[in-house]
Amino acid sequence: MEKTSSSNASKDPAILSAQESHINDGDENCDRGNWTNKSEYMLSMIGFAIGLGNIWRFPYMAYKNGGGAFLIPYFLMLALCGIPLFFLESAVGQFCSQGPVNIWRAVPIFKGIGVSMVVANILFSIYYGVIIAYALYYMFASFQSPLPWSSCFSWADSYCSSTPLVACNVSGVLVTNWTQENITCPSSDKVTVSVTSPSEQYWDRVALQRSSGLGDTGPIVWHLALCLLLSSMIVAAVLFRGIKSSGKVVYFTATLPYVIIFILLIRGMTLEGARDGLDFYIGSQSNFTKLTEAQVWKDATAQTFYSLTIAMGGVTTLASYSKFNNNIFMDAVIVCLLNHGTSVFAGFAIFSILGHMSHVYGKPVEEVVTEGFGLAFIAYPDALSTLPLAPLWSVLFFFMLFIVGLDSMFTPIEVISTTLCDAFPKQLSHKRGYVSLCVCGIIFLLGLPCVTRAGIYWVILIDQFAATWVMLVVAVFEIIGFCYIYGDLHMVTCDLCSPLLWRSPLPRLGLDSGLVHCCLHRYLDPCWHGVYADKS
């Protein structure tokens, strides 16, 4: 009787409106809230999993590792590692209804793994915040005709050129304007000078104002700092009510990138030279002998973890707001397949336009293809500047990068906020909006060193170390913790009549195999004893 009155009091509309705006009356979990519907959950998962790595990292990985041949290890690693781990994290999160730290009540000695996930999300948020700032700056700069990086304007130095620069060695001095001064230069005195493209100089000298190295910090680049502030304000506004507000925004942010990629693909396929780019991507230039190299399989595994963002706590956090009987198995399969399919799809749009760029400049495709930031902010903008209506295509491309980055940043901020609210439920659960605001503010301040003149060096460090190998190491300990340490210490007898298994969503998913029940019982049982036992 006392429990019933307490439950009714917790659902009092006045209390909910005053303290728990992130919880609705119809939510199954009255403490943390649930997704309003399945669509919002799936779109949030898709938006989180599909990020910038699918657009600028995978196409180069495929090209570097044999083109179409790379798809074999890439999808094989998805089947062997990606889907099982994605399913494991979804199952643990949904059953426990807890964030990435509290689920480790199962194996308390491994609670540091959950803490490391939160730290990785802090670094990930800083990284993505700066990337969004870059995309915003380029999007605003694209509202000009001609595009500011289409030629060598006043900001360029003497080594800026779209074509090779030939100098004349006159008495030991290299003269670059010898043709303008009517100097006759013998062939033996002609020297080819290394030049940089206008888009590369714009990236270094205007957008980044790059310093000489990490030790030369320099002042804050204020146009990037303002873009970083704008992106932080947008994320804070979207996440103010937690999943209740972000779930509405993902209808736009998770679907629009597909529309823009499709538009860019159609435009790219109509350009002269597009086929050459596609041949180097996954076409006739595919090199199947690359499959014998260990590096190719390592890259396929790393890219699978990177693109699905496994072992970062995001999957667990988003699943923790699902209803208890949600079909997590089909969710995991759909999101994982869509993620890898998007990588391949985006590559066609990228390489079709890069093929046109190589045709315009008369260079082989391999000379215009770069990876990471070079692809997104140097090579591709350079290619877009060669198109008719270049500002339009440039605005569309960078707006897509902004939306994709924004969608991927929602979940890391949600992971940090959820961890804090789960750690201090009495103090913070009814102040969820203010927690999100504070987290976004702190991430903005931490991101300011990354928008100084040496900021790009910090961003590269985070990209190469915090966002790749960390996930592989955490995933290994995640498997050891749940499958071996907990499994060996708790000899679970597989019984299909177990109250835990009947309460779990597994029978409804068609997973009635005793072996599957036994394996997943090891994952779900710790949450029952470590979390739900506390509620009884």
**Cα–Cα distance for residue pair 432/250, rounded to 1 Å:** 19
Check residue 492 and report its DSSP letter: P
CA distance 223 to 216: 19
- Tell me which H or E stretch contains 190: strand 190-193
182 CA to centre of own chain: 54
Let me know: does 446 contact 284? Beta carbons within 8 Å.
no
47 a known binding residue?
Answer: yes
Q: Distance between CA atoms of 121 and 418, rounded to whole angstroms? A: 12
CA distances from 289 to 62, 70, 285, 293 (A): 14, 10, 12, 8
Helix then strand then coil, in percent of the chain rounded to 5, is 70, 5, 25
- DSSP state, residue 97: T
Q: Of 507, 509, 488, 499, whose CA–CA distance to 529 is shortest?
A: 499
- Is 407 within any annotated ligand binding site? yes
Tell me: is residue 49 an annotated ligand-binding position.
yes
Count of beta carbons in the 10 Å neighbourhood of residue 228: 27
Cα 261 from Cα 91, distance rounded (Å) = 32
Give the helix ranges, DSSP H, for 283-389: 294-308, 314-319, 328-361, 373-374, 380-384
Question: Could you tell me the two tokens for 156?
Answer: 């360029």
What are the C-alpha distances in Å from 426 to residues 20, 429, 430, 431? 12, 6, 8, 10
495 is an annotated ligand-binding site residue: no
**Three-state secondary structure readout of 144-187:** CCCCCCCCCCCCCCCCECCCCEEEEEECCEEECCCCCCCCCCCH
Q: Is 307 assigned a ligand-binding role in the annotation? A: yes
Q: Annotated binding site: which residue ranges?
A: 47, 49, 54, 307, 339, 407-408
Q: Annotated binding site for Na(+): which residue ranges?
A: 47, 49, 54, 307, 339, 407-408
